[in-house]
């Protein structure tokens, strides 16, 4: 049909069939077969933005960023809608994966986000001030939700210390998807509740050179434990008391709106480690909740090997009667 000279195309029945079938195949992980069908669908309706959007989506699932960018650009060229199109968001993700910064900036702006003019010399769209968020590492495998700082709409710098089982490190930068799966709420000191999205990781964007250590602490009080976390942070690295910062959540709870620590604006604990089932009506144990302080703590440290022992010794030296450490081991 023709409206004011503009042709609006309805996709044919065979386009719909091919596309539906392709998404079923994608659900089964059969990307090759799905790609053949979506390519056929795009041949049938090349003027339809959706044809290219679907192909771009498939290439995103396959982490084939060159192809995702190419298909995504065809999709946005055919859009009849101004801001807020997910097509642009996916172009932004592909461009970020490829470090195509001019295109990434264009994509976020076209989506309707403000991108500060300056950025870094490379044109990286930094300075968007998107705040904190959580990201689910390895969403398909042994998932772990960690906290981080959003660098831009598609990247988070991990600021929790991931558990050794994740094989991941503090300081990594992760490329993540646009649609959140879950939320963490934090009650701040002024009584307001802030909600933070939980994004799913797509892939590692930049590795971290800083190894992870596990150590057993004897800390007579919470203040002793806090002192180590502060010392590490002051040195430019991190320590995290896993005994209180990690809780186990089933997939359903992890992907829903869950209260997190009361928080003081800086501590965004706990992070969540996946657990197979929901443990009945009482729900999940909250790490360290309602119990007396236990001096023995299992603590993660993210610091270079040249620094980690000195950090621990310095912590003990500040209060030898209340602090001890042992069994330091590099785990990741």
Binding stretches for Zn ion (CB under 5 A): 250, 253, 278
Measure the CA–CA gap between 59 and 72, rounded to whole angstroms.
Answer: 9
CA-based R_g, the chain, Å = 23
Neighbouring C-beta atoms of residue 38, cutoff 10 Å = 27
Minimum CB distance to Zn ion smaller for 221 or for 256:
256
Decide whether 99 or 252 has the Cβ nearer to Zn ion.
Answer: 252
Q: Least CB distance from residue 160 to Zn ion, whole Å? A: 20
Which is closer to Zn ion, CB of 97 or CB of 253?
Answer: 253
Minimum Å gap between C-beta 83 and Zn ion is 37
Rounded to a whole number of angstroms, the minimum distance from the CB of residue 180 to Zn ion is: 18
Q: How far is the CB of 280 from Zn ion (least distance, A)?
A: 9
Of residues 33 and 183, the one with the C-beta less far from Zn ion:
183
Backbone φ and ψ for 213, nearest 5 degrees, come out as: -120, 150
Question: Scanning the structure block, which residue is given the tokens 């806090």?
Answer: 226
CB within 8 Å of 297: residues ≥ 6 apart: 216, 217, 218, 219, 225, 241, 242, 243, 244
What minimum distance in Å lies between the beta carbon of 145 and Zn ion? 13
Query: How many angstroms from the chain centroid is the CA of residue 164?
Result: 17
Nearer to Zn ion, 123 or 279 (CB): 279
Compare residues 224 and 255 and give the one whose CB is closer to Zn ion. 255
- Compare residues 159 and 258 and give the one whose CB is closer to Zn ion: 258
Contact partners, residue 89, CB within 8 Å, separation at least 6: 107, 111, 153, 178
DSSP 165: G
Smallest separation (angstroms) from Zn ion to the CB of 199: 20
| Least separation in angstroms between CB 248 and Zn ion | 9
**Residues 240/299, Cβ–Cβ less than 8 Å:** yes
Residue placing its CB nearer to Zn ion in the complex, 178 or 270: 270
3-state helix, strand, coil in the chain (%, to 5): 35, 25, 40
Cα gap 39→324, rounded to integer Å: 63
CB count in 10 Å sphere of residue 76: 21
In the complex, the smallest distance separating the C-beta of residue 152 from Zn ion, rounded to whole angstroms, is 32
Could you give the C-alpha distances from 139 to 177, 195, 304, in angstroms and in order? 11, 21, 28
């Amino acid at each position: 049909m023709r409206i004011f000279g503009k042709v609006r195309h309805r996709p044919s029945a065979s386009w719909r069939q091919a596309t539906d079938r392709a998404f079923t195949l994608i659900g089964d992980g059969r990307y090759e077969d799905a790609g053949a069908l979506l390519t056929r669908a795009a041949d049938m309706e090349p003027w339809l933005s959706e044809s290219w959007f679907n192909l771009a989506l498939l290439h995103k699932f396959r982490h084939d960023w060159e192809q995702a960018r190419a298909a995504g650009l065809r999709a946005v060229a055919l859009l009849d809608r101004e801001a807020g199109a997910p097509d642009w968001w996916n172009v932004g993700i592909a461009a970020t994966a490829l470090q195509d910064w001019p295109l990434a900036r264009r994509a976020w702006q076209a989506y309707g986000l403000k991108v500060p003019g300056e950025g870094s010399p490379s044109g990286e769209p930094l300075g968007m001030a998107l705040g904190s968020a959580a990201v689910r590492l390895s969403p398909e495998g042994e998932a772990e939700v960690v906290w981080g700082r959003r660098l831009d709409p598609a990247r988070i710098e991990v600021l929790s210390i991931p558990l050794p089982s994740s094989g991941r490190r503090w300081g990594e930068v992760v490329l993540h998807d646009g649609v959140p799966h879950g939320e963490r709420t934090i009650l701040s000191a002024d009584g307001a509740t802030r909600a933070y999205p939980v994004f799913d990781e797509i892939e590692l964007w930049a590795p971290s050179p800083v190894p992870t250590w596990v150590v057993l602490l004897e800390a007579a009080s919470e203040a002793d434990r806090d002192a180590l976390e502060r010392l590490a942070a002051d040195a430019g690295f991190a320590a995290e008391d896993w005994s209180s910062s990690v809780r186990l959540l089933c997939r359903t709870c992890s992907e829903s709106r869950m209260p997190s620590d009361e928080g003081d604006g800086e501590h965004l604990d706990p992070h969540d480690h996946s657990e197979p089932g929901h443990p009945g009506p009482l729900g999940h144990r909250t790490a360290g909740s309602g119990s007396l302080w236990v001096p023995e703590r299992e603590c993660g440290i993210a610091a270079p090997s040249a620094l980690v022992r000195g950090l621990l010794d310095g912590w003990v030296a500040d209060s030898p009667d209340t602090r001890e450490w042992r069994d330091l081991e590099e785990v990741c």
